[in-house]
Amino acid sequence: MEIRCPKCNTANPSDSRYCRECATPLPAAEKPAGSPTLTYETPREKFASGTVFAGRYQIIEELGKGGMGSVYRAIDKKLNEEVALKLIRSEIASDRMTLDRFSNEIKIVRKIVHRNVSRMYHLSEEKGIHYITMEYVPGEDLRRMLRMSKRMEIGTAISIARQVLEGLAEAHRLGVVHRDLKPGNIMIDQEGQVRILDFGIARAIKSEGPTEVGLIIGTPEYMSPEQVEGKEVDQRSDLYSLGVILFEMVTGRVPFEADTPFAVGVKHRSEKPPDPRQINAHIPEDLNSLILKCLEKDGAKRYQSAEELLSALAKIEKSFPAAAREDNTTSRPNTGKAFRRCRKPWKSTLILPWPGDRSPCPTATWA
């Protein structure tokens, strides 16, 4: 007997508690006695296009589902602008302490004003449904881009990582650690700008004190060893996660894979990551060393701040061959879809999938 993931529809063994593809808790999985692991059911609330929620937000389309709940693209009729509307699952919203943490985190996260961080607006409630409104970022998330292209050009990967680091540096300066940095939380908008999503979400659903046994906050493939162990984390945990993302962008795979989230976590804690150059010989030696330093088990051996890592990455980008920085379009995913080729100020060319959308870019050509 198989269990189908409610998020990505992947078939999983009957004894699975998490989806082997996206790590979403499986609704059919039973919670072991004494374990506070969160399991979620598919939300009953589903709004059709045109529905007006809370007398203010007109639904355009559903953008996706996750462990937190459903996310919709909507028009804020009061301000006449598009927003992302995240409905919080009732299992989470029923916890008063969790809602208080959400409220406190949003107050902090709203202070982050940076071109590479998506804004979070407010937490509210409508007829028992708790929701968060956020800046809507039109574009494609890095997870989908990686699924289509598998491996990115080196210059493109460096450019994306640099923009993520610029956003992280501002957040860390304000004392905010993301805690769940992963490709699904990194958007590339229609102008090629990188945006980090969902700051504060992981911390808001975290229990007080160290993480309890069985409660996983984050996505196993991108979690730092200290997160896996349930220890308190700081900015170096985000840098570890970015190291995993960089590894995936330039090799086409994550450093640690296993059949269960628990097994993945064990590998993050105890196994040495593979050498990226053994998978992709085209990775420059200095970038290879940078990735491996990000993936050090001991936080003291990693880069200590986003600024330090950003400086190291900038030196690599500067030394990268000019021709490669200027044109990173030598390979493209073979999907048959239209791709936009857009030159941006970071001196690289991104190939971005925009099915059905050819909104203008001043320096774009289509292929």
> Residue ranges per domain, the chain?
52-135, 139-326
Residues recognised as catalytic:
180
Task: Identify the sign of the CA torsion 327, 331, 332, 338.
Answer: positive
Amino acid at site 339: F
- CATH, domain 52-135, list 3.40.1410.10, 3.30.565.10, 3.30.200.20, 3.20.20.10: 3.30.200.20
CA neighbor of 62 nearest in space, from 274, 53, 362: 53
Confidence of residue 36 (pLDDT cuts 50, 70, 90): very low
Q: 66-80, 198-212, 233-247 — which is least confidently predicted?
A: 198-212
User: pTM (2 decimals)?
Assistant: 0.74
What integer pLDDT is reported at residue 214 of this predicted model? 36
* Nearest residue to 329 via CA among 194, 175, 149: 149
- For domain 139-326, which architecture applies? Orthogonal Bundle (1.10)
Top mean pLDDT of 18-32, 83-97, 147-161, 303-317 is at 303-317
Rounded percentage of the chain residues whose pLDDT exceeds 90? 48
Helices first, then strands: H and E counts in the chain: 12, 14
Q: How many CB atoms lie within 10 A of CB 95?
A: 13
Cα–Cα distance for residue pair 5/26, rounded to 1 Å? 6
207 pLDDT higher than 60: no
pLDDT classification of 341: cutoffs 50, 70, 90: very low
Which pLDDT score is estimated for 100? 82
User: 183 is written with which tokens?
Assistant: 């490709």
Q: What is the pLDDT of residues 238-292, one digit of tens each?
A: 999 999 999 999 999 999 999 998 899 999 999 999 999 999 999 999 999 999 9
What lies within 8 Å, CB to CB, of 311 at 6+ separation is none
pLDDT of residue 338: 37
Residue 19 has pLDDT above 80, yes or no: no
Residue 319's pLDDT band (boundaries 50, 70, 90)? confident
Whole-number Å distance between alpha carbons of 365 and 367: 7
Confidence class of residue 23 from pLDDT cuts 50, 70 and 90?
Answer: low
What is the spatial distance between Cα 101 and Cα 201, in angstroms, rounded to a whole number? 9
